[in-house]
Amino acid sequence: MSDDKKYYYLRMKESFFDEDKIVILESMPDGYLYSNILLKLYLKSIKNNGKLMFNDCIPYDSRMIATITRHPVGVVEKAIDIFEKIGIIDILDNGAIYMLDIQEYIGRTSTESDRKREYRKRIETEKEQQLGHLSGHCPLEIDIDIEKELNIETEKEKNINVDSEESTSEKQDEKAEKDDELSKRIEHFNLIYAEYPKKVGKSKAFDYYTQWLKGRKMSTGKIKLANIQMFRAVRKYVREQDDKKTDLKFFKDFDTFMNKAILDYIEPLREGDTP
């Protein structure tokens, strides 16, 4: 019997509909529709061990999910937003959706705790892979809202005078290259920001993030940090606070952490890391 066949059914507990998350869902307007969507996403994801990604390349958007669940797009969009807020799903920057508690329901012989640990490791590994060396197989969407929100110094470079008749092919290529670099920088920053639970100081944090990438002058000399180093530093700090059971309000604001506190959690690059 192949291993894949072990993933093709859900093992539902008798108390499933009495669990807090389901009670909360079904108490909302359209709540019974949300729980139905949730069950269908569980079933759709088990062939890929909890990951929703068409052909492992194309992310499921709200219209695609509406089609496979046979619910209106508006209802699906609200459901996805609620699932993410209450911790049922995790959406990566490449659009992949992970059903976070799927290991509780997969019919498989290994222990539940081992499956959960392996599953979280799989999600974290994929996040690191996106950050350190993004795959070229699937184009990642640029977060337009982030570009509007952040006060990015390179915005001036994008505002090319359309009245100028001196625009050349070389200048257009240079602009496209800068836009692509900016898009990748925003994309990488979003992966780091997603790991930090206290969402305060995002715009200023992006400024510090950019400075670390380029090399920041400190009293001890110029310090340059890689994306993957900052990603791991954020995760290390968050885990430290979780171990201490620190209340979220006592976490450093994100811009405060990215300013100088991050240096206390930076580790040397590992073999195989992208600088």
Across the chain, the runs of DSSP E, i.e. the strands, are: 51-52, 89-91, 97-99, 216-218, 221-223
Domain range annotation of the chain: 3-132, 144-265
| Residue 50 near residue 96, CB atoms below 8 Å | no
Eight-state DSSP code of residue 52: E
The β-bridge relationship of strands 97-99 and 89-91 is antiparallel
CA-to-CA dists, residue 30 to 16, 42, 83, angstroms: 19, 19, 14
Q: Long-range contact list for 132-139, CB < 8 A, 24+ apart?
A: 132/227, 132/228, 132/273, 132/274, 133/274, 134/184, 134/187, 137/57, 138/57, 138/58, 138/59, 138/94
pLDDT by residue, tens only, the chain of 275 residues: 444 444 457 777 778 888 887 888 888 888 889 989 998 998 888 877 788 887 777 888 888 898 889 999 899 999 998 888 888 888 887 888 888 877 777 655 455 566 666 666 667 777 666 665 544 444 444 344 444 444 444 454 455 555 555 556 666 666 666 777 887 888 888 889 888 999 899 889 999 999 999 999 988 889 999 999 999 999 999 999 999 999 999 999 999 999 999 999 999 998 877 66
- What's the half-sphere exposure (Cβ side, CA atoms, 13 Å) at 162? 1
Q: Residue 89: beta bridge partners?
A: 99
Q: Coil, strand or helix: which one is 183? A: helix
Contact of 106 with 10, CB cutoff 8 Å: yes
Fold of 3-132: Arc Repressor Mutant, subunit A (1.10.10)
